[in-house]
Amino acid sequence: MNSERHYPMTFTPVLKDYIWGGRNLEKLGRELPDEIIAESWEIAAHEDGTTAVANGYYTGKRLTEVHTDLGLDLIGTNCAWAQERGKFPLLIKLLDANRALSVQVHPPDDYALAHEGNELGKTEMWLVLAAKPGAQVQLGVKAGTTPELFRQGILNGRLEPYLHYVPVQPGDHICVPAGTLHAIMDGILMAEIQQNSNTTYRVYDWNRVGADGKARPLHIHKALDVINFAQVEPTLHPATHISDEGGIRRSLLCRNEYFVTERVEMAAGAIFEGNCDGRTLEIWGVLRGEVVVNGVGVTADATSVTAVQFVLLPAAMGQFTLSALTSSTLLRTYVTAV
C-alpha cells in the first residue's frame, strides 16, 4: 500500500444553478456566486460535474483522475461492477429546494444502460438538514392511480390528484429506490447520497417555465416505463439501532445493493476505530460538530472535518480513527458485497 496516496480526501464542491435553487446553501458554509444555487456536488466524478481534491497528495486533481490512478484501491472490490464500467460508484450532494423540484423518477441500472449509454441508474437517499414548518416531499402515488390515469393527468396538466405527500422535518431520512415517483417540495435543505448518475425523467413541472421563458422538457415515455406504480402512499421508516457504546451511537438509515448509510452520533472525546481493508471506500459527512480523521488531536497526518463537510477514505487506506472534538453527528456511507 502506498500510504502517500491512500489518505482521507476532502474536495472543492461543484455548484449547480437550477431554477428551483436559492441562497440557503450559504447557511451550510458554501461560498456562492451571485446567482441562485440549487445543488452543491460535494464528492462527484461524473461528466456533468467532477470535484477536485482539496488536500494532500492529489490536491487539485479531479476525482476522475484519482480514480483512474488508484482504481479498486480507491473504490474497493465490492465496487468491482462499477470499475468494470469505468465508474466511480457514488455521488454526494447538498440540495437547496428553495422552490419545489419537478415530479420525476430515476431509472434502474438495466434501463439506464439500455437507454442512456453507459450511465448508471439512480437509487438515492435523502437526509433532511433543515425544513420550514409544514415541509413535505412528494413520494409514490395515491391509491387508485393507474398508469393510464397518470398519463392523462400529465397530458391535462393536472397531476396533483395522483401525487402522495409525506411531511418531513430536520433529521428525517428518506430512502428513494430507482423507480420511485418523487419531488422535493419547497423549503428544504438536505444531503443526498446516490448512485453516480445524473439521469432524471421529468413528468410534471408544476406548469412553470424556465429562465428562458420556456417550459422545461418532460420525459413522459421513459418515465412511464420505469415508475413503480405499486409504491402506493409510502411512509417514512425510523432508523434501525445498530449499537450504542463508548459514546458512539450508530443507526442504520438505508441499505440497498449500491450503498449503506448510517447515522453516527459521537460524544465529545469519543473515538471511532475502523479499517478500510480493500473491500469498500467509506464516505463520512460531518453534519454537526467537528472530528479529526486519523488522529486523536490535530497533527500533521490528521484531517480535521467540520460541519457541513464530507471526506472520502480510500478502500486501501487501512486502519483509521475518527475523533470527535465536540459532540458530533455524521453520515457514514460504504458499499457491501452484492
From the list 134, 95, 96, 99, the residue with the least C-alpha distance to 206 is 99
CA gap 239, 253 in Å, rounded: 5
- List the catalytic residues: 202
The three state secondary structure string of 2-22 is CCCCCCCECEECEEECCCCCE
**Cα distance between residue 333 and residue 283, in whole Å:** 5
Q: Phi then psi for 27, rounded to 5 degrees?
A: -65, -20
The alpha carbon of residue 183 and the mean position of all alpha carbons in its chain are separated, in whole angstroms, by: 15
Cα separation, 195 vs 309, whole angstroms: 19
- Would you list the DSSP string of 48-84? TEEPEE-SSTTTT-BHHHHHHHHTHHHH-GGGHHHHH
The residue type found at 99 is R
Taking a C-beta distance cutoff of 8 angstroms, is the pair 139, 177 a contact?
no
Cis check: omega of the bond before 308, within 30 degrees of 0: yes
If one counts every other C-beta atom within 10 angstroms of the C-beta of residue 237, the result is 11
**Helix intervals (H) in the chain:** 63-70, 72-75, 80-84, 109-115, 147-156, 220-226
The 201-204 sheet, strands edge to edge: 163-167, 136-141, 182-184, 103-105, 201-204
